[in-house]
Amino acid sequence: MASHRKPTLWLGPKQRARLQTAVILLIVIVLVILLVPYFNGIAQMKNFQTCQNNLRKIQEAMQVYMGDWDGTFPLATNWSYAVSANMSATSGMAKSVSIYFKCPLDHSKKPWSYAYNTIYSGYNPNSGETQFTFGSGKNRQILPRPIHPNSSPIIFEHFASNNNQHFLLRTWGDLRNNMTFPHMLPDPTGNYIAGNGRIYRLTPADLSEDMSDRL
C-alpha cells in the first residue's frame, strides 16, 4: 500500500531570509511599543526635577533677599529682579542665572516660567505686616495677609510669564486657575514654593475639594 505523505512547506534561501527579517522587525516594533512609555516617563521626571531645582534656587535667592530686608518678602512689582540679583550668591556657577527662570517644557519666548503670589508682596511674617497697597484714592487698599503663610504658595509654575509676573491668589481655586500643570506623572502636575520654604507638587484633582478655602 502506498503511503500518503502530507505536503510540507519548503522555503528557499530567499524566503527564509525574508521570514527572518520579518520576525526581527516584529520583535523590534514590540520592543519600541513597550519601551517608548518608559523613556517618556524618564524624560518627564527629568523635566519635573529640573523645575523643582529651579524653584529651589529661586527660594534660596529669595532667602538671601529677605535676610537683607529684615525677613520681608519682595514686592510683587520687582520680585523677579530681587531674585535674579541674589541668584549668583546661591548658584555657585559662572553661567547665566537665567537658566533657572525657565522650565524645559515652556517653549514660549517669555523670560519666566514662574509667577508670584501678590498676597506676599512686602509681607513680613515676623511682624505680620504688609507694605504693599493697590488702587488709589478712596479705592486704595492694603493687601490682605496670608491666613496660612506656611502652606500657601509664594511662587508657582505659570508658563509664558513676563518679568515680575504676579497674581493675587486669595483661595486655592485662584491657584488652580492660574497655575500651569505641565508634568505628566502620570497626572498633570505643577510645583510651587510654600511660605515655609518647601517645594510642593499639586494636580488639579488635589485642588478640586478646597477651591474656596483661603490661602
- Give the pLDDT of residue 82: 92
For 159-173, b where at least 16 C-beta lie within 10 A, e where not — what string? bebeebbbbebbbbb
- Residue from 149, 175, 190 nearest 54 by CA: 190
Q: Which three cell numbers stand for residue 137?
A: 484714592
Percent of the chain that is helix, strand, coil (3-state, to 5): 40, 20, 40
- Give the pLDDT of residue 188: 94
Using the 8-state DSSP alphabet, how is residue 99 labeled? G
- Give the pLDDT of residue 21: 86
Regions of the chain where pLDDT drops below 70: 1-11, 39, 89-95, 131-144
- Give the pLDDT of residue 140: 57
- Give the pLDDT of residue 94: 47
- Give the pLDDT of residue 213: 82
- Give the pLDDT of residue 66: 93
